[in-house]
Chain A
Amino acid sequence: MASNKKAPEINASSQADIAFTVLIFFLVVSTMNVDTGIVRVLPPMPDPNVKQEDIKVKERNLFLVFVSGSGQLMAGGQVMDLRYLKDKAKEFILNPYNDENLPEKKDQTFDMPDGTKWTFPVSEGVISLQNTRDTDYQVYIKVQNELTRAFNEVRDDVSMTKFGKKFADLEEEQRKVITKAVPLKISEAEPRKMGK
């Protein structure tokens, strides 16, 4: 009869409590937020031993965006509301009607991933972003954001006509081609010492 007796089961009801404790510990010490941001590549520091030559940019190839300390915006020689900046920048990048006052385009041939060649008129335009030392960072980011949006929309348009897909949905190789066809040319000068 004694052989029939089973070993008593271990009570597992407290295991849940242990698991809950560990779970709550992790909830407290960890963060879930994903870092997002506007990605930029800074220009490398010029070599002090090499004499710098000023790069001459034709006036039609330059789009000057100036953000003042009070948050006002001047783009292409006129005061502008932030809302119109994106369209203005897009027009500048694309120059759809080959306007004489908008940037030149140079035909460049790209090797496509599938072996074919593709010629696309690449804009020579450079957007120059300037700000003063007392410009708010928030305003600066807003302007950067609008300019990025302009470039992203142009890239979307170009990849839509070329590949029939949005830029974000492209393959890695295709994306590289589009990035070369629509280069992100935003030049940032050091802030002017203006204002007070």
Chain B
Amino acid sequence: MAVMKKKGEREVPALSTTSLPDVVYIILFFFMLSTSMRDQELLVKYKLPEATEAQKLEKKNLVSYIHIGVPVMHMQAKFGTAPKIQLNDSYKTTKDILDFVAGERDNLNEADRASMTVCLKADGGTKMGIVADVKQELRRANALKISYASSKVLGY
């Protein structure tokens, strides 16, 4: 009996956690590879229109973004609620697109300039007038490859 009691007192050995960091590192590397850095602070809010035929944008480093939408809440006091164009980190007008495209093009190396794409992220409720102005400016800036950003849906 005494022997039996001694056996019952034996403690469960502590679970070895030495491999836990390895597991976490694997998850960490997965996230580092599969995600991209948030590079811009959005000053406009938009809800992208939906499309079934949306294609994936390849080569993110060749893509420049133009955001069009209503200013975010804390900017509305200053800028009102009319749709605005955001280039880089500030509100701009259509006149600045020429410089913006030139600047973006300078950032690319020679070989990639031809395949530069402009991604137009505009709110679904924007009027076409402002979008058409932007498109016209892009034509003037000779940035002809564009992508109307839209979230991919499988059907209506």
Write the residues of chain A forming the contact surface with B, with a CB cutoff of 8 angstroms.
12-13, 15-16, 18-20, 22-23, 26-27, 29-32, 34-45, 131-138, 140-142, 144-145, 148-149, 152, 190-191
Contact = CB atoms under 8 A, between A and B. Distances in A.
B73 interface: no
Contacts, number: 155
Contacts of B131: 137, 140
Interface stretch (B88-96, B101-109, B138-146): B138-146
A40 B146 contact: yes
B35 A16 contact: no
Interface of B: 17-18, 20-21, 24-25, 27-28, 31-32, 34-38, 49-57, 60, 63, 117, 119-120, 122-129, 131-132, 135-136, 138-140, 142, 144-152
Contacts of A19: 21, 24-25, 28
Contact of A36 (B57, B128, B142): B57
A132 B129 CA distance: 7
8 contacts: A27-B31, A31-B35, A32-B35, A38-B51, A38-B54, A41-B144, A137-B124, A141-B50
Contact of A137 (B28, B122, B151): B122
Contacts of A34: 56-57
A135 B117 CA distance: 25
Contact of B21 (A12, A30, A138, A191): A12
Given A19-B24, A30-B31, A144-B148, A38 B55 contact: yes
Given A26-B35, A35-B63, A149-B52, A134 B129 contact: yes
